[in-house]
Amino acid sequence: MTLKIWNLLLLSLCLGIVSACSPSPANNQNPARGIPPEIAGLHFDMNRIEPFFRPMGFPEYGDWLETNKEPGQTFDEYIASSPTLPTDERRTIHVQPIGKFDEQQTRVIKTTSDYLQAFFGLPVKTLTVKAAPAKLKEPDQRMIDYPQHRQVRSGYFLEKVLPPLLSKDAAALIAFTDEDLYPDTSMFFVFGQASLEKRVGVWSLYRLDDQADFDTFLRRTMKIAIHETGHMFSMRHCTKYECVMSGTNHLGETDRRPVDACPECMAKIAWMNKEKPLDRYNRLVAFAKKYQMKEEMRDFEKKQKAVE
Ligand SMILES: [Zn+2]
Ligand SMILES: [Zn+2]
């Protein structure tokens, strides 16, 4: 598959969300003046974890920033944008598996759900697996070749399946499916799509394990789930660092990104949750220990120590 096609396909991964987030004007306020202590504290912790992140480099051919000129979004700009935040009534991230999953995919969904919980500090509820309908009317499904299989229109999930399943306490409802997705006839396939307005999203596992071992498949799923859920809380693409919230155009770029949020995005999450960054890193260290993700554990421990 050519890089150009990958660009088109992956661009569509974020289109639904990015277009739903209208750009907010840059906030040029001087953080040193009249700043609330909790925000000053977050700026202090941002500086302390900064050494553990790589500044965004010059984009390589086909990378997201080569084809999408974006301004990024700092922590201060995020606060000024009146973002969609979890509320006391809507705090839970609901995960809805739809389809038939093998043992490996089931493990990936379980681990990713736990990571969402540790990462955002919000309760995550995994709902009982639902079967996908055996047959759908066109255009909700279409057949494609190489290999011959069914694709389901992502809008079918976003418009018909998920909204009735959205409960009152849900900050967001994320569906994982084993079905291959397509958004419309202009595209060959799409990895996922979300509707900020409806607070629902659907992500396909169909292509994420393509020529990948379990660890790569898991990390790709974790990164995509975090990235898209971040969009649901109005977090825009990050251009300052290599960050889980940076836009990606192809799986190679996804694989290069860290699973964690950069200092600017970390502060957004801590502010959203009214918590200290240390609480978040404590959770992330416990998560990495539980799943024996040694590299991530060492990384989270360094950041945990830095903000103690
Ligand atoms: Zn995105
Ligand atoms: Zn970031």
pLDDT in tens, 95-153: 999 999 999 999 999 999 999 999 999 999 999 999 998 899 999 999 998 889 999 99
Mean residue pLDDT of the chain comes to: 88
Residue 23 has pLDDT above 70, yes or no: no
Q: Which of 214, 191, 189, 212 is nearest to 203 (CA)?
A: 191
Q: Which pLDDT value is given to residue 16?
A: 36
pLDDT exceeds 60 at position 29: no
Cα 247 to middle of ligand 2, angstroms: 10
Q: Is residue 217 within a helix (H) or strand (E), and if so which, with residue range?
A: helix 214-232
The pLDDT of residue 188: 87
Question: What are the pLDDT digits (tens) for 43-97?
Answer: 999 999 999 999 998 888 888 898 888 999 999 999 999 998 999 999 999 999 9
pLDDT at 262 over 70: yes
Q: Where are the domains of the chain?
A: 3-20+36-306
CA of 74 to the centre of ligand 2 (A): 8
Ligand having the closest approach to the CA of 20 = 1
Q: Tell me, what's the pLDDT at 33?
A: 62
**Cα–Cα distance for residue pair 121/155, rounded to 1 Å:** 29
Choice among 142-156, 191-205, 252-266 with the minimum mean pLDDT: 191-205
pLDDT of residue 67: 86
User: The domain 3-20+36-306 is classified under which CATH number: 3.40.390.10, 3.40.50.720, 3.40.190.10, 3.30.70.1450?
Assistant: 3.40.390.10
Given the residues 77, 179, 228, 296, the one annotated as active site: 228
Q: Is the bond leading into 36 cis (omega within 30 degrees of zero)?
A: no
Task: State residue 63's pLDDT score.
Answer: 86
295 classed as catalytic = no
pLDDT band at 193 (very low <50, low <70, confident <90, very high): confident
CA–centroid distance, residue 205 to ligand 2 (Å): 24
Question: What value does the mean pLDDT take over residues 152-163?
Answer: 96
pLDDT of residue 9: 39
What's the 245 CA to ligand 1 centre distance in angstroms? 7
pLDDT at position 22 is: 29
Task: Identify the pLDDT of residue 32.
Answer: 52
Please give the DSSP secondary-structure letter assigned to residue 100: -
Burial environment of residue 127 by CB neighbours within 10 A (0 to 12, 13 to 18, 19 or more): middle
* Nearest ligand, CA 265: 2
Å from CA of 244 to ligand 1 middle: 9
